[in-house]
Amino acid sequence: MKRGESLAKNTLILSLGTIIPKITSFITLPIITLCLTKNEIGFNELIMMFSILMLPVATLQIQTAAFRFLIDVRDDEEEIKKIISSIIVFTFITSLIALVVVFLCLYKEDLYLRFLICLYYLADIFVNTLRQICRGLGKNGEYSKSIIVSSFSTLVFIIALVFILSWGLIGVVASSFLSSFIAFIYLFFKIKLYRFFSMSFFNKEILKKMLSYTIPLIPNSISGWLMRLADRLVVTVFMGVSANAVYSLACKIPNLIDNLQNTFVLAWQENASIVSKDSDAGEYYTRVFHMLFNLITGSLGLLIAISPVLFKLLIKGDYEEAYFQMPILFMAMFFLGLSTFLGGIYLAFKKTKSIGLTTTVAAVINLVFDISLIRYLGLYAASISTMLAYIFLFLFRIIDVQKIIRIRVNISHMILMIIILLIECGIFYLDKIYLDTVYLKLVNCLIAVVLFLGTNWEFIRMLLRWWFKNAKGE
């Protein structure tokens, strides 16, 4: 299969694991905002953010090695067993230690809530580990299916436990645990994990190699986590839990673009790793970079255009202030998407130290601006500091990655696209502040459609060619 077709195929398959969760989360969002207090929403957001930290801390990022190392041994069953067995044993031991610490640190909270949080973190760690094993084995379909299973389970449990039984925050956390656990069971039997796992295949040497690859990624994960959590912690400390709820809801819609580009990047990481040894890797990376840039630009334009309607439909209650943070966060997600793509090149060449360094510096920038501006700008400090950090992250990486492989950038095209997005953001603000009229919304939609089709026609054609080719059974 050609590189482009392979990338398009994997993007399409993995997109199912991105789109479905967003649809279900949008369905559950009105229920959560209706049935939980602002304090409960704020606390739940902190629980979800800490779950992002638990994975790298509890596993030392070993699940990342599952993906990268399995790619190189897909035809060697014995090596596959050694890698998977070593990862499972290591993850089990370190996870138990980490969760005991979490349970003790939550001593002020209700016992049932502490127990559920730890169960959720454990299930989340193992289901994500199995998902990376799926990717390493080339089973992207099972990866996406497990996310869909988890998403629909969450929807069912939120409706049952939160909306019908009114369990509040405990119901939300219980739903998160049960959905992750069900997805784990699904993957365990679907990929027949028991075929690849045995204590006799545990290999210390392979584990050491994987840890030497993944340990430099820990600062990257923690820094990325801090960049997301720092805003919420600073807002909570200086403005209260209710303000954190407002900011968290402001991030919901802009984060859609992050989820979209993550789909592409997941597929891209596999292609980048396979192509890294080819003589024309630089030319291929350049083409994909421009394709991703156009995809993010066009998709973000569409999202900005429809966000006023989405906000009214999805956000219930007194959260008007969240609306005005969104354009800044849109641009932050734009630069994050480009930075994540470049991170895929670091992974392909196993330059994990560079990933950790760049993300750590960006996290420091975010925190410094956040604390410096919060007293003067309120919630705007959180969104502006995030945007500035991601702008730095992109600029640093696009310069630094040239030391590994040459990637050509069309600067004039990038500037033009950014200007168009800023115009859309300006219309977004004007419509809300002054007019709140359907005409400005239609203008933004027209700009967005033209922008998306104009920048992504080549990628759309490639997807359609792959789709029709497979539909005909070729």
Tens-digit pLDDT profile for residues 223-256: 666 677 777 778 888 888 778 778 888 888 888 7
CA distances to 69, 126, 212, 261 from 18, in Å: 24, 19, 30, 10
CA atoms within 13 A on the CB side of 360: 11
- CA 274 to chain centroid, in Å, comes to 22
Tell me, what's the pLDDT at 1? 47
Pick from 58, 65, 61, 354: which is nearest to 209 by CA?
A: 65
Tens place of pLDDT for every residue, the chain, 474 residues?
Answer: 455 566 666 666 766 676 777 778 878 888 888 888 878 887 887 788 777 767 677 788 888 888 778 887 887 888 999 999 999 999 999 999 988 988 998 888 888 889 999 999 999 999 989 998 998 888 888 888 998 999 999 999 999 999 999 898 999 999 999 999 999 999 999 988 888 888 889 999 999 988 888 887 777 667 666 677 777 778 888 888 778 778 888 888 888 777 677 766 777 777 777 776 677 778 888 888 888 888 889 988 998 888 888 887 777 666 778 888 888 999 999 998 888 888 888 877 777 777 778 888 888 888 899 888 888 888 888 889 999 999 999 999 999 888 888 888 889 999 999 999 999 988 888 876 666 667 788 888 899 999 998 888 877 777 677 666 665 554
H or E stretch at 76: none
Q: How many CB atoms lie within 10 A of CB 431?
A: 18
The two tokens of residue 195 are: 């075929």
Residue-by-residue DSSP string for 279-341:
TTHHHHHHHHHHHHHHHHHHHHHHHHHHHHHHHHHH--SS-HHHHTTHHHHHHHHHHHHHHHH
Q: What is the mean pLDDT of the chain?
A: 83
Q: What is the spatial distance between Cα 268 and Cα 279, in angstroms, rounded to a whole number?
A: 18
Question: What single-letter DSSP state applies at residue 36?
Answer: S
Residue pair 198/81 in contact by the 8 Å Cβ criterion:
yes
Convert 205-231 to b/e letters by CB count within 10 Å (16 or more is b): ebbeebbebbbbbbbbbbbbbbbbbbb
The two tokens of residue 350 are: 């196993």
Pick from 257, 239, 367: which is nearest to 307 by CA?
A: 257
Q: Is 166 helix (H, G, I), strand (E, B) or coil?
A: coil
Which residues touch 424 (CB under 8 Å, ≥6 apart)? 301, 304, 305, 444, 447, 448
CA distances to 195, 236, 242 from 239, in Å: 52, 5, 8
The two tokens of residue 106 are: 């939550």
Residue pair 328/380 in contact by the 8 Å Cβ criterion:
yes
Q: What is the spatial distance between Cα 390 and Cα 255, in angstroms, rounded to a whole number?
A: 14
Residue pair 11/267 in contact by the 8 Å Cβ criterion:
yes
Q: How many CB atoms lie within 10 A of CB 384?
A: 20
Pick from 445, 455, 458, 453: which is nearest to 303 by CA?
A: 445
Q: What is the spatial distance between Cα 157 and Cα 152, in angstroms, rounded to a whole number?
A: 9
The two tokens of residue 49 are: 């953010």
Tell me, what's the pLDDT at 375? 86
* Dihedral, 34, 40, 41, 45 alpha carbons, nearest 10: -150
Instruction: State the distance between the two ends of the chain, measured CA to CA, in whole angstroms.
Output: 12
Q: Is 396 helix (H, G, I), strand (E, B) or coil?
A: helix
Q: What are phi and psi of 38, to 5 degrees?
A: -60, -40
Phi-psi region of 315 (alpha: psi -120 to 50; beta: other; left: phi over 0): beta
Which residues touch 329 (CB under 8 Å, ≥6 apart)? 250, 251, 254, 255, 383, 386, 387
Q: What is the spatial distance between Cα 187 and Cα 88, in angstroms, rounded to a whole number?
A: 14
Strands (E), 304-437: none
Tell me, what's the pLDDT at 180? 94
The residue written with tokens 């219309």 in the block is: 427
